[in-house]
Structure 1
């Protein structure tokens, strides 16, 4: 089959690198089968030119260290401020036995070590695809055909970032699991829904983190000023939250450099105070390293110990930001900052608080500020408030990143993505989401008022996301990494059982505020499901009603069709073929621009697509029509904005395609002339655009040379005329034609389908940005073409 392309190239091996280097120094052999092309109206756009393989970009250590410093301010604010409220949330009914403190400390130490450090920093980040639940889903989609949208192309595997480094030894279990996923529609749907649930929970974290962090920090003022009421604390917190969201437009880069020094001071203070309390009050808390104290804690407290896990899990809140925010930074930078700064500071802080509580069991409700030495109280209060603000920033940044990914994969309504840093890739800001998060945070803060109820809600959101991440990771370990079965079982038994235990505990507090993140998730999943379902229905409709090659020839033959100067770009989501809206356009406006390019914006399940590999072109026959198809491929973290000269790059790549098309026809002619060629190969010295061709075989070289020279002149003239036509069309002006399809439920549709399409989807579409705003298409050169689809 023409679409079945097997790419066994492994750019990560040294042997292949040497082979590629040596091939550059000698003539290349191009297989005749590789030169063959098929009709893209029925298959996909195919590339002609051969691009060099680009490995992952090597990042300098100076940049890695800068990013590590920045990440301290962006990623760790949330987990770093957990010492503000963990012990208070765990011992809600007071401390009944002094050794319970050792049991809880032991739980905290091992939980922080297992989940944030081992699971996320050293395991999950290996599955890095720029972070988040959607990154894990896209990684699975790259290896197994589990996507619900039929827009996969064989050429996608030639994108350098698409390659997966896989062990050569294939396990039967991996193949069996891959086959089951690919052949089960239920499995595909379940994976997508689980991804949406995880995304919704991370967005829920983005709402709850600012509330609990700021309320906890501001509440500390009541220790020094008892006259301050709870009402005042709430309104001060609301004012701080509003200011926080208003500065998001500055971007992660500026915010990160502003916040990182503050969080460094915060970690220094909590670590230093922890050491002070450890030696002053009770150094014997080091015994908590013995996990037997955990067993003793559960024996003494039984059900109460299990319920208290909902408070202990708050020690790892914000861990998902390690993964969700990795798109803003690099894996190495996050590993360095976690191991060198965050982890040691947190261990010291919790150990010091435990030592303090061993001597002051009655002060557990205000552990953090009571354990702070008096001379440091006010500096600590100021830094705590600032750190709480920064903690909120961690999940807000993660929310922007993960919404960008879900939007690119057709699972979220269109919103404006603003790229905030020209220096660092992946740092984005989403205005609509920012203000919706602000309203939600203010509403939760005014509604719940205390950290206890918010903590119950927070725990459910955190553990749900962690559990889903582990589930996806097990699939990746089996299918892609081909991990040893013992390692997979160990991961499930150790990490999985710990997370399941925490999940069971936080769900117990469902009626005490735990329902909030599930309500958020239900609302967000409904929006995402509605958008994605109708998005897929539209795509299938266009695929079923695409214009055939015969119909294009009929349109070209119509005498009433006139050509006007200029270049038109006709945007469509359809990757295979020409969309039905084109026939609707020609039927109402019987005129075509001198050059017409059908542009399909497509997102690949990779984080980034190199600019030189972005465009795939194909000519639409008949040739005299000057109509082309183009698939513009982007990664889900690539940002399309006004700074990218999309029009100019597309025209340049179109001209390259025309040149390559000319040289391809030359080689086709020579191959047809060399019928006696025994090995069916053409040897080309250098690139496809080289002028010198050498023929292998016993064919009549004089005859081929004469044919080449004759065709060379004719073809060169034709090529130059075509290139001149493109240049003239470009100078005459570019018009952007946008296919705006209105969708309605079919006449025989059921009530559920009518509600889904006619009301829910159309409500979202009317109240959100249109495509020209998302792609920053200039209004003066834009023309919308409307058509109704009955789904």
Structure 2
């Protein structure tokens, strides 16, 4: 059924839309009931009587961070998941830095010095020892930083925050007591500025889009670079054949995504470990054999001489040097699967030394073979190790691609939780490992994009230009968020903040300026990806907010609810009805349109809102928030179901069963509390009536459950601007009709 809502849309972010509501009905049989008792607490932020299930936080972060056997185990596992991207960078860094050949032998020392200090400054100092501390209850990435800021300052654009949210055990922030005034001033400015709120969300979308762009470019450059090495063994492998072989590997890689990474996860770490061991060993061999004097590159003076000799060309070459730190964001993004200490250990003890040895060895080789820079990696391998290294290189490139593709799926899931991405099917591929998801629609779009990029560019030089822009953009945004967290949350001393900005911030901006210079040489690609993705995110999020404000301003009051349910023409049906809505406060307006067309109601009504909090996870025992709505002759409840942005949603039947169990707990505790307060005044009459009410809920449960999902269609109202009509009537409508509309 359908019915157009009348009246104007309120001004706050929703002045250009009219909402049309539809209802779908699915009947589910009665669930097996198992009751448990738990003490509840009362809150008043929902205008009527409220309750919250309170329990203990079952966070295992203490064990992960303090048990050294666990840390060592996780450190080894992280090698296969976290470092595949940065670990395969030696395949193409020198060839991308010197696309026109080496003009002066000491330029090799300058570039090597740049590589060494860049890897030390960005992945190690910035990420391993600073950024990892900004994790959100163990979770990392752009969304983790944004969620920390949203929890500390009210910068969300949708007014669905509740007092009870801050009682969730993972919600609280541990804050120092010093430098409170500066932090409070920044917080106040953010909360009062609509521009600041929009800008923060915009920056988060941009960072997310760039990381998704990495998910396209990493498979292309990694596989193409690894497969390209086969031309050293046989001249019959032309560039065209290498490209098509790479495309075949990429298609196979995306086709097996539906099986989940845990099926082959245990093979990742040994392969990457072998890859690092071989790179380090070959690096040491080349260092000893060709030119041990390359250690002079530890003197940063060679960097200045490099720029003196090459000037503009040296600045341009930074776009190749920055490829040495591709995949660094994975250190932070994947911390939730491991732990801070395990990643610090694996990076410091294995990855960093292996990379330095590899680059030092390649530099030593190039000092004697300037003319072989275009194929540095494979040319520098001793003859007997060529085929083993080729096999391991291809395997490592596939693993690096796998990690970025899986990371893209996780990012899409997080975007969904913030209402920033159209609803798509998210499949959880592992019961053993949290966070491993597969998104079919995105998988095939990524595959098509990877194949198109590989066939279009055919070489790693232009792909490297595009890759560099995506990498540095994300790093710069991370630094911007981190400075905000330093000021507001950590309350870091101003001298440390200035030092961070002047060193790491300046280095990243210099690299950013260099990679942007190659915009017309492939650098436009990630920006084009980002523009397309951000358009989708903006359209969806903007209309999502318009719908929310409409429902908020047209919600049904308790008085109106009683007026509706007490009509004489209503038929009472045994059972429980679940009404799903995105509205947190009040009864959604869809309810009125339902009863106008279906003059029958179940004996128990539960209005359910599934809501994401700005935290990574919500403990299961703190997930449900109930209140009893004051209604006559019918039992009406409001239920807010709270998830974190990395929480796994339960399956439908399990969700229903748990919700009904928690509802029973809530009503039992409510009755007990109410009876204790009123008993003696009403001679126990309240207690008897409430106990009878509990009986009605139990009986309704046995009679079955009806799920009612409201599906909204938004159209621009008359008088809207041309741009807003295009966005609402066409762009949003296209996304809505071609993607899934489901309650996650």
TM-score (norm. length: structure 1): 0.86
Matched, 1:267 2:271: no
Matched, 1:661 2:632: no
Larger deviation, residues 193-202 vs 64-73:
64-73
Residues 643 and 576 of structure 1, relative CA distance in 2, 3 Å threshold: closer
Once the two structures are superposed, the pairs formed by residues 260-339 of structure 1 within 5 Å of their partners are 260-339=269-348
Residues 357 and 48 of structure 1, relative CA distance in 2, 3 Å threshold: closer
Query: Take 2:156 and 2:140, find their aligned partners in 1: how far apart are those partners?
Result: 19
Partner of 1:728: 699
Larger deviation, residues 565-574 vs 743-752:
743-752
Larger deviation, residues 718-727 vs 567-576:
718-727
Residues 70 and 644 of structure 1, relative CA distance in 2, 3 Å threshold: farther
Larger deviation, residues 563-572 vs 421-430:
421-430
Contact 1:270/1:349, CA 8 A, preserved across alignment? yes
Gaps of 5+ in 1: 1-29, 671-705, 776-791
Matched, 1:117 2:117: no
Query: Take 2:85 and 2:56, find their aligned partners in 1: how far apart are those partners?
Result: 42
Residues 349 and 549 of structure 1, relative CA distance in 2, 3 Å threshold: same
Matched, 1:421 2:430: yes
Matched, 1:646 2:655: yes
Post-superposition offset of 1:766: 0.6
Output the aligned Cα RMSD: 1.8
Secondary structure in 1 matching 2:645 = coil
Partner of 1:462: 471
Residues 451 and 49 of structure 1, relative CA distance in 2, 3 Å threshold: closer
Residues 279 and 602 of structure 1, relative CA distance in 2, 3 Å threshold: same
Matched, 1:757 2:722: no
Query: Take 1:346 and 1:113, find their aligned partners in 2: how far apart are those partners?
Result: 11
Residue by residue over 1:422-442, the C-alpha shift from the partner in whole angstroms, topping out at 9 and shown as x without a partner, is 222222221211111111000
Post-superposition offset of 1:666: 3.8
Matched, 1:520 2:556: no
Query: Take 1:109 and 1:46, find their aligned partners in 2: how far apart are those partners?
Result: 58
Q: How many residues align?
A: 701
Contact 1:325/1:397, CA 8 A, preserved across alignment? no
Query: Take 2:49 and 2:505, find their aligned partners in 1: how far apart are those partners?
Result: 44
* Higher relative contact order, structure no. (Cα contacts within 8 Å, ≥ 6 residues apart): 2
Partner of 2:218: 209
Partner of 1:79: 86
Post-superposition offset of 1:360: 1.2
Partner of 2:613: 604
Query: Take 1:392 and 1:650, find their aligned partners in 2: how far apart are those partners?
Result: 39
Post-superposition offset of 1:67: 3.1
Secondary structure in 1 matching 2:708 = strand
1:747 to 715, 718, 726: 718
Partner of 1:577: 586
1:442 to 451, 458, 481: 451
Matched, 1:106 2:113: yes
Once the two structures are superposed, the pairs formed by residues 498-537 of structure 1 within 5 Å of their partners are 498-537=507-546
Post-superposition offset of 1:123: 1.1
Matched, 1:546 2:555: yes
Residues 762 and 45 of structure 1, relative CA distance in 2, 3 Å threshold: farther
Partner of 2:417: 408
Query: Take 1:273 and 1:644, find their aligned partners in 2: how far apart are those partners?
Result: 56
Secondary structure in 2 matching 1:47 = strand
Secondary structure in 1 matching 2:633 = helix
Query: Take 1:117 and 1:96, find their aligned partners in 2: how far apart are those partners?
Result: 31
Partner of 2:737: 766
Residue by residue over 1:64-123, the C-alpha shift from the partner in whole angstroms, topping out at 9 and shown as x without a partner, is 433333321122111000000000110111112111111111110111111111111211
Residues 320 and 569 of structure 1, relative CA distance in 2, 3 Å threshold: same
Partner of 2:28: none
Residue by residue over 1:500-554, the C-alpha shift from the partner in whole angstroms, topping out at 9 and shown as x without a partner, is 0000000010001100000000000000000000000000000000001210111
TM-score (norm. length: structure 2): 0.91
Residue by residue over 1:665-701, the C-alpha shift from the partner in whole angstroms, topping out at 9 and shown as x without a partner, is 245448xxxxxxxxxxxxxxxxxxxxxxxxxxxxxxx
Partner of 2:622: 613
Post-superposition offset of 1:644: 7.1
Post-superposition offset of 1:336: 2.3
Query: Take 2:504 and 2:129, find their aligned partners in 1: how far apart are those partners?
Result: 13
Residue by residue over 1:167-223, the C-alpha shift from the partner in whole angstroms, topping out at 9 and shown as x without a partner, is 122432211111111000011111111111110000000000100011111111111
Query: Take 1:192 and 1:390, find their aligned partners in 2: how far apart are those partners?
Result: 31
Partner of 2:396: 387
Post-superposition offset of 1:252: 2.9
Query: Take 2:399 and 2:239, find their aligned partners in 1: how far apart are those partners?
Result: 23
Contact 2:678/2:686, CA 8 A, preserved across alignment? no
Residues 35 and 75 of structure 1, relative CA distance in 2, 3 Å threshold: closer
Contact 2:112/2:360, CA 8 A, preserved across alignment? yes
Secondary structure in 2 matching 1:160 = coil
After TM superposition, the runs of 4+ consecutive aligned structure 1 residues lying more than 6 A away are none
Query: Take 2:84 and 2:50, find their aligned partners in 1: how far apart are those partners?
Result: 47
Query: Take 1:95 and 1:600, find their aligned partners in 2: how far apart are those partners?
Result: 62
Secondary structure in 1 matching 2:264 = helix
Post-superposition offset of 1:707: 4.8
Partner of 2:569: 560
Residues 59 and 643 of structure 1, relative CA distance in 2, 3 Å threshold: farther
Post-superposition offset of 1:329: 3.0
Residue by residue over 1:270-307, the C-alpha shift from the partner in whole angstroms, topping out at 9 and shown as x without a partner, is 01111111111111111111111111111111111100
Secondary structure in 2 matching 1:771 = coil
Matched, 1:252 2:256: no
Partner of 1:686: none
Partner of 2:148: 139
Partner of 1:492: 501
Residues 736 and 148 of structure 1, relative CA distance in 2, 3 Å threshold: same
Once the two structures are superposed, the pairs formed by residues 697-736 of structure 1 within 5 Å of their partners are 706-707=680-681, 710-711=683-684, 714-736=685-707
Contact 2:56/2:621, CA 8 A, preserved across alignment? no
Post-superposition offset of 1:574: 0.3
Gaps of 5+ in 2: 1-38
Contact 1:194/1:468, CA 8 A, preserved across alignment? yes
Query: Take 2:561 and 2:313, find their aligned partners in 1: how far apart are those partners?
Result: 73
Query: Take 2:156 and 2:93, find their aligned partners in 1: how far apart are those partners?
Result: 40
Matched, 1:47 2:18: no
